Amino acid sequence: MRKVFQAELHQIGEQLIEISQLVANAMDKATIAFETADTELAQDVIAADARIDFLQNDLDERAIDILALQGPVASDLRMIVGALRMSASLERMGDLARHVAQLARLRYPDHVIPTAIRPTFEEMAQLDQQIAKKVNELLETRNLELSNEIYAHNARINELHAGVFKAIASPEWDVSAPITVDVTLASRYFERFADHGVSVARKVTYLVTGEWQPSAPLI
Amino acid sequence: MRKVFQAELHQIGEQLIEISQLVANAMDKATIAFETADTELAQDVIAADARIDFLQNDLDERAIDILALQGPVASDLRMIVGALRMSASLERMGDLARHVAQLARLRYPDHVIPTAIRPTFEEMAQLDQQIAKKVNELLETRNLELSNEIYAHNARINELHAGVFKAIASPEWDVSAPITVDVTLASRYFERFADHGVSVARKVTYLVTGEWQPSAPLI
């Protein structure tokens, strides 16, 4: 019985890793689609999001079955409840990658982001890609050094996000209102993606150390 | 033992109702602050959000304790896992009401929304206020008619949200880029608030009927 239970717990962990891998792929592709106005790649991301949603639902059902059938306690229980939370964050990260891809598709053949502000978005996108990869690695290795790197990337993204609004408010900003909307939404999507990455990192850190960190960046 | 357990379950339900009441109050006040450029009221909403966050954490801890100590199964287990999900959605609704209030405070003494598009935002805000109230009533009464009303309000908000972007893209749109940003973000906050309301409504419906509704509006 105990052996079956451990195998089931392990499977939950594996499925979280799998979802986080799909999220990292989605953000990689969404970024390329976004930066190169590649509508086919955007379509791939949009289609692939259904798989993430399916895996999240499946993981949640398994987790609830374990709760019902095994009545786990202590750290096993925390792990399962944590997995439910993390799967929700990962699913949301998948949605946000999809939103980025949808913007690319909507504006095709144009680029979403005006030239002047493109470097800011490139850095944001790169940081989000790294966050997604580090979340995946963190779930696999539980190396908490990665959590700190995720928090640092998130802090930088918050700066860049604020920088976008400064650029929009500057007298040099001369793009159309609909493009201003796209820039605003894209910046918000990249920023929220990082927030959810932080949320997963905090949860893993909590599961490993048993200590909640109210001083860590808030989600 | 069974009696204690039922009392604990009841308490979780009561706390969800309490949180949803605070969320409804927050959206009521945030809307007034937003529409009348009332910075003090905005500050109230921002300060009150900490209470929602506290109650969510507290509810989650209680729910996990019940899982650990009582090992609930079947519908009791679904109810507790559902409460964890609903508390997360309600907490997020509180954040979004706070974001609306923060926009009002940021632009004070100006109004956030240009006159021409104000009726659209008034309708969106009203619908969100109703959604919050109906979520509160739904948690209290489990009258599923309310879920359908929430879905309908959400559908209307999605139309209004799309209408905002159409207005911004029209040749008559002559407001500054920073105000375009505010309008975009405000519209997104109102739209997301409704999404989370739908999410809670779907969860309650599922707990009452045992049937998940993939055809209901997606969160």
Give the nearest partner residue to B181 out of A71, A74, A184, using CB atoms. Answer: A184
The chain B residue lying nearest A76, using CA atoms, is B68
State residue A216's pLDDT score.
46
State residue B3's pLDDT score.
87
Give the nearest partner residue to A178 out of B68, B169, B188, using CB atoms. Answer: B169
Tokens representing A157? 């993204």
CATH architecture of B2-209: Up-down Bundle (1.20)
State residue B2's pLDDT score.
78
Contacts of A103 (CB under 8 A, 6+ apart): A34, A112, A182, A185, A186, A189
Contacts of A78 in chain B (CB under 8 A): 64
ipTM comes to 0.92
The chain A residue lying nearest B188, using CA atoms, is A185
Nearest to B97 by CA among B202, B219, B189: B189
Distances (CA, A) of B20 to A123, B155, B157: 39, 21, 20
Binary contact (B165, A173; C-beta < 8 A): no
Say how far apart CA B114 and CA A177 lie, in whole Å: 14
State residue B188's pLDDT score.
98
Binary contact (A178, B188; C-beta < 8 A): no
* Residue B202 clears pLDDT 80, i.e. is over it: yes
**HSE-CB for B35 with a 13 A CA cutoff:** 16
- Three-class secondary structure of residue B19 per DSSP: helix
* Residue B215 clears pLDDT 70, i.e. is over it: no
Neighbours of A46 (CB within 10 A): 19
Mean pLDDT of B128-143: 98
Binary contact (B178, A184; C-beta < 8 A): no
Say how far apart CA A8 and CA A147 lie, in whole Å: 26
State residue A218's pLDDT score.
40
State residue A179's pLDDT score.
96
pLDDT by residue, tens only, chain A of 219 residues: 678 889 999 999 999 999 999 999 999 999 999 999 999 999 999 999 999 999 999 999 999 999 999 999 988 999 999 999 999 999 999 999 999 999 999 999 999 999 999 999 999 999 999 999 999 999 999 999 999 999 999 999 999 999 999 999 999 999 999 999 999 999 999 999 999 999 999 999 999 987 765 444 443
Q: What is the DSSP letter of A218?
A: P
Q: Give B25→chain A minimum CA distance, Å.
A: 23
- Answer yes or no: are the C-beta atoms of B176 and B97 closer than 8 Å: no
Distances (CA, A) of A219 to A186, A212, B12, B29, B146: 18, 13, 24, 24, 31
State residue A155's pLDDT score.
98
Taking only the tens place, the pLDDT of each residue in B69-104 is: 999 988 899 999 999 999 999 999 999 999 999 999
Q: Using N-to-C axis directions, what is the helix angle for B177-209 and B118-141, rounded to 10°?
A: 20
